[in-house]
Amino acid sequence: MGSWKDIWLLNLALFMYFLGISVLSPVVPPFLVSLHADPFLVGLVTGLTSALSVLSKPIGGLIGDRGYRFHALMGGTLFGALSGVLYVVSALTANVYLFAFARAFHGFSMGIFFPSSLAAAVDLAPVGRMGETLAWRGMMFSVGNIVGPVLGGYSSDVTGFAGAFALTALFSLTGFAFAFWAWREAPPVVAEEHHSEGSYRELLKPTFIAVSLTLFFFSVSYAGVTTFLPAYYKSISLKQSLFGYYMMVIGTFSLVTRLIGGKSADRFGPLIPTVIGLLSVLAGYISLQLSLLPPGSYISAALIGTGFGLSVPAMQLMALGDLPQRIRTMGSSIYTMFLDLGTLAGQISLGYVAQLRGYTGVFPVLPLILGVSFITLFAPYLRRSGDG
């Protein structure tokens, strides 16, 4: 347990690092389209980030569980800054291969950064307020989704793709400064995991597996929105900033509901806000079928953002709240790996759907994919009922 100052230094490091990621959301698919990439290649290159994040997260977990969580935070931000530089060079040279390498390297940095960030937040949470602490942490993602896509979309419209990519390097370096400050303020917390007990076999608990699989299918479906909606807008000659506004709406509604989701998880348990949140996301996918273009599409963004805010902190609490501190970074790694695996699976498989049916053929599939997440979420409870 740490002070709120420690928590907020950690949150600010996360915010700046994630801002360097979120500025790319309205930019990467259109950049690839501008290089004449077909829909499958758009999904494949975009998905390289998730693929390398998956591969590097066990490394990030081992580093964090050996007492170097803040070192992992600092290393991840520096790698993110270098990725931003590579993005700029690839844009100036129109080199799709260098861009693909930059995407992979950025994914590696995420695999180092995010597990320690999540585990440290759980460690620092005051007693009985873990859901609230995770909600405040999640709000950094929400604010990043409000500010980042708008900045990225506007910058690419005004200064070109290289200008938008330069923001990734700038924000990542700022994240390094906050991570360094957090390390200097709270080094004892990093070393505490050496004194706690726990075995990685505890990650085989049915609840942990179930909520991880739920996150996987959640991510598969959401990748269809973040990858192929901006590509669709680019294909019909809409400005990148319009998808930036879409993501801004998601971030705004997620921001408003994060604390509600976190505090509800602390008070009533994590299952209820998780279910309500997933239902809201499902309603958002259905709404998107009715209106793919703005401003009508922003209704779906509001519903998706609301669902994010309610479900994400609750799912994190469900997955990580009971894990021993010594294995918590690896638990965070495995849990968030399902996020990356789902994103990668969505980008590649739905890219194939887009190749066959066009970009608009992706969106009717999303509610069906999300529906599977309800089955995985309730699987442990159904199993207990059957055993009884």
Cα–Cα distance for residue pair 206/212, rounded to 1 Å: 10
Quote the DSSP letter at residue 1.
-
The reported pLDDT for the residue numbered 287 is: 97
Q: Are 122 and 134 in contact (CB under 8 A)?
A: yes
Q: Is residue 21 part of a domain?
A: yes
Contact 194, 326 (CB under 8 A): yes
pLDDT for residue 1: 54
**CATH number of the domain where residue 370 is located:** 1.20.1250.20
State the Cα–Cα distance between residues 159 and 156, nearest whole angstrom.
5
In a domain, 133, yes or no: yes
Q: What is the CA radius of gyration of the chain?
A: 19
Q: Residue type for 175, please?
A: G
Residue numbers in the chain where pLDDT is lower than 50: 187, 189-196
By CB atoms closer than 10 A (0-12, 13-18, 19+), residue 101 is middle
Pull the structure tokens for residue 231.
Answer: 């590509």
On whether residue 285 sits in a domain, the answer given is: yes
Token couple for 243: 């998808």
Distance from CA of residue 49 to its chain's centroid? Answer: 11
Alpha-carbon distance values, 156 to 9, 23, 162, 235 (Å)? 30, 10, 7, 16
Q: Please state, in angstroms and rounded to a whole number, the distance separating the CA atoms of residues 341 and 111.
A: 12
Residue type, 259: L
Query: Which pLDDT does position 186 carry in this prediction?
Result: 66
For residue 290, tell me if it sits in a domain: yes
Looking at the structure of the chain, the number of domains it has is 1
Tell me which residue has tokens 């000659």.
237
Cα distances from 215 to residues 85, 119, 209, 220, 376, in angstroms, run 31, 17, 10, 9, 9
Q: Is 196 a domain residue?
A: no
Q: Is the pTM of this model over 0.85?
A: no
pLDDT at 194: 45
Instruction: Provide the pLDDT for residue 385.
Output: 52
Which pLDDT does position 191 carry in this prediction?
41
Identify which of 114, 137, 67, 107 has the alpha carbon closest to the alpha carbon of residue 332.
Answer: 114
Question: Which domain does 302 fall in, by range?
Answer: 4-191+201-387
Q: Kindly list the distances between the CA atom of residue 255 and the CA atoms of 94, 137, 190, in Å, as whole numbers in the listed order.
A: 36, 10, 28
144 within domain boundaries = yes
What does 244-273 look like in DSSP terms, one character per residue? HHHHHHHHHHHHHHHHHHHHHHHHH-SHHH
Summarize pLDDT for 262-285 with one digit per residue, the tens: 999 999 999 999 999 999 999 999
In a domain? residue 316: yes
